Chain A
């Protein structure tokens, strides 16, 4: 084809190129248009030049007007998110100093089936490139050559380090528990003649940290350490609490109850007791739950008192350790207070207690077995144990000493963070400081990247704190390069076959919503799932998208449920609860807002959610190509479950969050 004989004049040609190229960019190209554009560009140098200029201008215009919205974000590293110097913009006159251009002959008329082959560039020294036969080889996600694989290696190294730490921690912990066991043995040996203990009285410590109790009440709780805020009502062995003020009741699986009075710091060391570093507590066994009875063992020695058959663990004793004493309850009620000097004081309200003074200079907690270092205290007595291991006993004064014996009936219970079997992971976003999101349930932490900022207000269930995402590394509203996000890693567990994901979000005023990825496990197709805002041409609507397996190529498909709730609706200054579900059996996915069903979509029944190991992120997609980073607030609880909630369950959860918030507000008013 001779271009000049068939092509229109320059302006007409320019308009035609523009028309065809813009139609192609927006996906409106017809078959005839495609042929025409192909012919024009291939055969006419002027048309080709115009076409390339149009493409370059389109790229530059898109970057200019939406610096945050498209993949050509040259100043951002794809993985690190750190700023990189932009490429220099050469001038025309400076071109002569540039390396020789790649001449036309450098792009051979390649047949793709010729792979593998070398790609030679005669004018520029080039590396040899060997490409795989078609189709392109899929990079195994675990490969070192894969960014994902590399990330995994990083996580694995991190996990190994953490495991080493946990191992050391376990050694320390077991040693510590063993010492307490030794202390009990010593106590019981000493008390054997008094019929209080018997052979084999050791504390059954476990290698893992099992659940040993639950939080059964909280009133006006303020926390001294945000890392020690109780986010799960079930308490594992080793859990620490740092209460600044207020009351918190712990009910052990043995049936024992402890009321912590702020300010205090307490660690649940075992199913049978804990360590009070400072502050005040009351320990008790309710009447009928822990009947004390002595039996004779087969060996003829007396056995420890048995606890209630209602209790789940067989434990005869309850012990509170302090910096200066070990106070062992023999089935009674008593209070313990530790002051700033480490002096321990115990009051006995019923039954008997053995108090043993510790030589605080002896860090191994070796007891002093002399008679003067151990005392039996009975009801109505007070024992004071000083740092030099002196024990003073006197009668309980009439005036109140400030110990709380019963929790107020209206105490708030942490109803939100139960741990049913379906709960894979939950984060409460309640830390309020630091760069790590610790899991309330599950074992996966999130690392904050860029300039994600803690806020001092949050959604109803976690009102004291939340996260703000600025989008860009500077945390500003107008610079959103997608570097402000929280990364949790590419765990398969986050993509179960069926799923429910729920979280809280709030917008700030005057924030544009253009296809922002709020959170999700999504990278390049096929992803797993994500929440976000649709493109403006789709109305900036809230959407929930899942990727499921399909029976035909490309063997996956995505489903998107779009709510009528738009970005503008979102900017109402309120926190909103957003949840999405996908049920493998029925193939139904659903999007919820504030407990109400907004939209559904249906896949072929039986198709599992795709579990490709993309990273789970808050605030953007995994890859930066089309990040449209989220700008606004995210709050907890954020959870992932391995089954689809019913509409009633979603609503119930949302209402529970509101009730919990109301209870907290009532407590604050008191």
Chain B
């Protein structure tokens, strides 16, 4: 391999890493929306990353990397769905189409909500914040949290829902305020 081609490949690798580093979180959210399971989404995210690298020669510089990456992820997800024909938990094709369309329409949704969410979490009461932290941060199940709190599973689930609902309302307000200020 000539020095020139090695250098070119290194540049290409750096370009891939740069683009992927910028978009991987949004891509992960897209995958999670289509495959709403942490473990499966992890696997698909990794599979997508490998496929992106494999196909990176076909990516046209200057075009929308995230859209290109989403399209590849989308097909990988559909391919996996085809393979899991016997899986009774798989969603209908219309689910994937609808979610992909919705996500593509507002690809900034994740980042729009990110800042606002951070501010809203700070406003939460400590016990509500602890609930979110246990569930999302520590990966504790609702049953574990319910057992720790000495509450029923349903009550804990509703408490978590109310917390997230309050958070969602707060995020909406924050976004409206932000829009008004600008």
Contacts and interface: CB of A to CB of B under 8 A. Distances in A.
Contacts of B113: 53, 56-57, 60
Contact of A104 (B13, B36, B105): B105
Contact of A72 (B28, B91, B165): B28
A626 interface: yes
Interface in A125-147: 125-131, 134-136, 139, 143-147
A221 to B, nearest CB: 45
Residue among B117, B121, B158 with the most chain A CB within 10 A? B117
Interface string A168-182: 000000000000000
Interface in B78-104: 78-79, 81-83, 88-95, 97-104
A143 B57 CA distance: 14
A128 B71 CA distance: 11
Interface string A52-71: 11111111111111100111
A106 interface: yes
B155 interface: no
B157 A101 contact: no
B22 interface: yes
Nearest to A15: B161
A631 to B, nearest CB: 16
A94 B111 CA distance: 12
Given A64-B117, A537-B139, A59 B110 contact: yes
B146 interface: no
B58 to A, nearest CB: 6
A82 to B, nearest CB: 8
A74 interface: yes
Given A56-B29, A72-B24, A112-B81, A89 B38 contact: no
Nearest to B21: A84
B28 A102 contact: no
A363 interface: no
Contacts of B115: 89
A58 B36 CA distance: 10
A80 B98 contact: no
B4 interface: no
Contact of B103 (A52, A85, A537): A52
B45 A71 contact: yes
Q: How large is the interface on A (under 10, 10 to 19, 20 to 34, 35 or more residues)?
A: 35 or more
Residue among A14, A87, A139, A625 with the most chain B CB within 10 A? A87
Given A71-B42, A78-B17, A139-B54, A106 B104 contact: yes
B161 to A, nearest CB: 5
A95 interface: yes
Given A41-B95, A55-B29, A104-B105, A60 B117 contact: yes
Contacts, number: 308
A19 to B, nearest CB: 7
Contact of B112 (A51, A90, A143): A90
B42 A626 contact: yes
B63 A124 contact: yes
Given A78-B17, A93-B179, A119-B71, A57 B164 contact: yes
B36 A24 contact: yes
Interface stretch (A30-38, A183-191, A463-471, A575-583): A30-38
B46 A524 contact: yes
Contacts of B99: 41, 48, 51-52
A54 B161 CA distance: 10
Contacts of A153: 1
A61 B104 contact: no
B32 A58 contact: yes
Nearest to B13: A150
Contacts of B17: 77-80, 84
Contact of A92 (B23, B89, B179): B179
Contact of B67 (A45, A63, A66, A124): A124
A109 B118 CA distance: 36
Interface string B58-76: 1110011001101110111
B53 A524 contact: no
A421 interface: no
B33 A87 contact: no
Nearest to A120: B71
Residue among A56, A85, A139 with the most chain B CB within 10 A? A56
A129 B72 contact: yes
A456 interface: no
B25 A74 contact: yes
A99 interface: yes
Contacts of A14: 165
A107 interface: yes
A406 interface: no
A107 B74 contact: yes
Interface in B25-58: 25-26, 28-29, 32-33, 36-39, 41-43, 45-47, 49-51, 53-58
9 contacts: A19-B157, A66-B137, A74-B25, A87-B22, A101-B106, A102-B105, A110-B74, A112-B81, A121-B71
Given A55-B29, A147-B50, 5 more contacts: A25-B32, A27-B38, A61-B117, A115-B79, A150-B13
